[in-house]
Amino acid sequence: MIRLLLGGVKSGKSALGERLLVAGPPPHRVLATGRALDCDFRARIAAHKRARPPQVAVIEAGETAMTVLRDEAGRGGTLLFDSLDFWLFACHDQDVMQTCLPALRLGMGPYAGSGGPELIVVSVEVGLGGIAAGAAARRFADALGSCNQAVAALAGDVRLVVAGCPLSLKGTAS
> What is the H or E stretch that residue 160 is in?
strand 157-162
Q: Which long-range contacts (CB under 8 A, 24 or more apart) does 93-97 make?
A: 93/63, 94/63, 96/63, 97/139, 97/140, 97/143
92 is catalytic: no
CA-closest candidate to residue 79, choices 68, 87, 63, 90? 68
From 48, 63, 64, 154, active-site residue: 48
> What is the H or E stretch that residue 72 is in?
helix 65-72
- Cα–Cα distance measured from residue 65 to residue 123, given in angstroms and rounded to the nearest whole number: 14
- What residues form DSSP beta bridges with 160? 6, 167
Task: Answer positive or negative: Cα dihedral of 142, 21, 10, 59.
Answer: negative
119, burial (CB in 10 Å: exposed 0-12, middle 13-18, buried 19+) = buried
Which positions are catalytic?
48
